[in-house]
A and B are shown apart, each in its own frame.
Chain A
């Protein structure tokens, strides 16, 4: 009887261990259409979206289809993804040592605000 109980408890521990390994995925922002802004928790992902809203001076509907935020039918969302990939590459290539302080964009030294400064289209200075 004691042996059986020991066996059951060991199996139980092993099961708990497996669920503990899968634990980090819970709470992460994951979706088939999240292709660039990966590895963020849900609050971090939402904060990043809010920063984008501020940086471009737009609201969610500028990029997202209402009631289907994952949809890529709006071309602004496709451009936004391309810009995120560009920003990521700039940071990897030119500012690899920069660690963003708490509360700032996870993207790195260069983020949406750097160029957009609250405007839908950045000003290049050549009017």
Chain B
């Protein structure tokens, strides 16, 4: 009986490890084949506006929410540092713009813990409001037809 309990315990431990590993793989980017490379351990590459100390995951999630888009809108799957997509190049130009606006016009509003390093007065959301393209004019009211 004690032996059986021991075997059951070993089997349980093994299954837990297998499930945990499957879980780790399952939560990773689905289209990234590099299983051995944990994305959090790699230093960020090709950063030109954001400082290297940026909490990149949090920053990217903010952009994603502000524009209502997913990672693939700007990033080449499997090669996130690539600048191939024009949307990524535009995003970088917009980040530079946000940084300039905050530094020039709101120098006293310093970013708090968890805020973007680009500044906290103006963010992507300030203009985008969850849309890919910001609305620059009020929604046109449709005239009733004849």
Contacts and interface: CB of A to CB of B under 8 A. Distances in A.
**Secondary structure class of chain B's binding surface, majority of residues:** helix
B123 A105 contact: no
Contacts of B124: 125
Contact of A113 (B97, B104, B138): B138
A124 B129 CA distance: 9
A114 B135 contact: yes
B121 interface: yes
B134 A124 contact: no
Interface of B: 62, 65-66, 93, 97, 100-101, 104-105, 115, 120-127, 129, 134-138
Interface string A108-124: 01110111011000111
Contacts of B100: 93
B65 A125 contact: yes
B103 to A, nearest CB: 12
A105 B115 contact: no
Contacts of B129: 117, 123
A126 interface: yes
A126 B102 CA distance: 15
A122 B135 CA distance: 13
B127 A115 contact: yes
Contacts of A55: 138
Interface of A: 54-55, 82, 86, 89-90, 93-94, 104-105, 109-111, 113-115, 117-118, 122-126
A27 B138 CA distance: 27
B121 A124 contact: yes
A113 B123 contact: no
Nearest to B134: A114
Nearest to A86: B105
B123 A124 contact: yes
A115 B122 contact: yes
A113 B137 contact: yes
**Closest 4 pairs between A and B when the two form their complex, measured CB to CB:** A125-B125, A124-B123, A86-B105, A94-B97
